[in-house]
């Protein structure tokens, strides 16, 4: 069963709120947002636009590919596509905000933390996600959350963003056995 839990307006409202929260908490400029491939990149760039718009503060964005840092490469079959990490600024001393679409087990974020640390020594790392669906397997939490969505373990959350070519903005819960 497929259930739409957020539409374009809801997503926009959630991200704008996160942008305001980030502006409120961050005095250090530029604000550094790094999106985790693939959907996190779109989240990062939308947040950056809103922050520039509302806060009139400089924002720098980067793209992080975490494929080589995952802990489950041996469990999967087929070949992983490794894409480039594109971070054109030094992360040493930066206040980094990682952005992703969904926070689930926390393993992606664990990998992302390692990947960022290998690039330098940021002053701090925070996490912004559109959806927190629970079921954490690691002690990781988000600093900025768009929406908390209680789910069953077998459910899947599908975040559709216009940038991926879908032409729509929506979040669906796909229930198991549906």
Partner 1 sequence: MVSGKGIIGLKYLGKNDIEQIIETAFSMRDISRRSVKKVPTLRGKTVVNLFFESSTRTKTSFELAAKRLSADVVNFSYASSSTSKGETTIDTAKNIEAMNPDVFIVRHASSGIMELLSRHLKTPLISAGDGTNEHPTQGLLDIMTIRDEKKRIDGLKVVVAGDIYHSRVARSDIYGMGKLGAKVYFFSPPTMITPDYESLGARVTYDAKEAFTDADVIIMLRIQLERQAAGLFPSTREYARAFGLNDQRLKLAKPDVIVMHPGPINRGLELSSSVADNQEHSRILRQVENGVSVRMSAIYHTIGEGHEYTDN
Cα 175 to Cα 42, 101, 133, 153, 155: the distances in Å are: 25, 18, 13, 10, 5
Choice from 158, 166, 168, 176 touching partner 1 (CB under 8 A): 158
For the CB of residue 115, give the shortest distance to partner 1 in the complex, in Å.
8
Given candidates 108, 112, 113, 126, which one binds partner 1 under the rule CB under 8 A?
108
Please check whether residue 151 is in contact with residue 134, taking contact to mean a CB–CB distance below 8 angstroms.
Answer: yes
**Of the candidate residues 83, 123, 141, 176, the single one contacting partner 1 (CB under 8 A):** 83
Q: For residue 30, is the peptide bond before it cis, meaning its omega torsion is within 30 degrees of 0?
A: yes
Q: How far is CA 89 from the centre of its chain?
A: 19
Residues sharing a CB contact under 8 Å with residue 153, sequence separation 6 or more, in sequence order: 135
Q: CA–CA separation, 87 vs 36, rounded Å?
A: 11
144 lines the binding site for partner 1 (CB under 8 A): no
- Residue of 42, 50, 69, 144 interacting with partner 1 (CB under 8 A): 69
In the three-class reduction of DSSP (H, G, I as helix; E, B as strand; rest coil), residue 93 is classed as: coil
Per CB under 8 A, the segment of 19-27, 51-59, 71-79, 160-168 that binds partner 1 is 71-79
Residue 2 interacts with partner 1 (CB under 8 A): yes or no: no
Compare residues 54 and 89 and give the one whose CB is closer to partner 1.
Answer: 89
Among 16, 52, 70, 136, binds partner 1 (CB under 8 A): 70
Name, in order, each residue with C-beta under 8 angstroms of 13's C-beta and a sequence gap of 6 or more: none
Residue in the block written with tokens 């701090």: 124
Q: How many residues bind partner 1 (CB under 8 A)?
A: 34
Residues 22-61 that bind partner 1 (CB under 8 A): none
Q: Does 119 bind partner 1 (CB under 8 A)?
A: yes
Per CB under 8 A, residues contacting partner 1 are 65, 67-70, 72-74, 76-85, 101-102, 104-105, 107-108, 114, 118-120, 131, 133, 156-159
């Amino acid at each position: 069963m497929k259930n739409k839990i957020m539409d374009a307006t809801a997503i926009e409202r959630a991200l704008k709120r996160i942008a305001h929260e980030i502006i409120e908490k961050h005095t250090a400029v530029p604000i550094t947002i790094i999106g985790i491939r693939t959907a996190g990149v779109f989240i990062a760039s939308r947040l950056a636009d809103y922050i520039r718009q509302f806060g009139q503060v400089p924002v720098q964005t980067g793209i992080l590919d975490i494929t080589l840092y995952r802990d489950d490469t041996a469990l999967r079959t087929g070949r992983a596509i490794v894409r480039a990490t594109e971070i054109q600024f030094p992360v040493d001393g930066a206040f980094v905000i990682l952005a992703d679409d969904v926070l689930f087990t926390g393993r992606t974020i664990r990998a992302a933390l390692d990947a960022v640390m290998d690039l330098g020594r940021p002053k701090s790392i925070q996490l912004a996600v559109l959806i927190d669906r629970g079921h954490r397997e690691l002690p990781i939490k988000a600093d900025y959350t768009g929406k908390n969505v209680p789910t069953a373990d077998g459910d899947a959350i599908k975040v559709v963003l216009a940038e991926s070519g879908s032409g729509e903005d929506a979040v669906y819960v796909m229930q198991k056995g549906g």
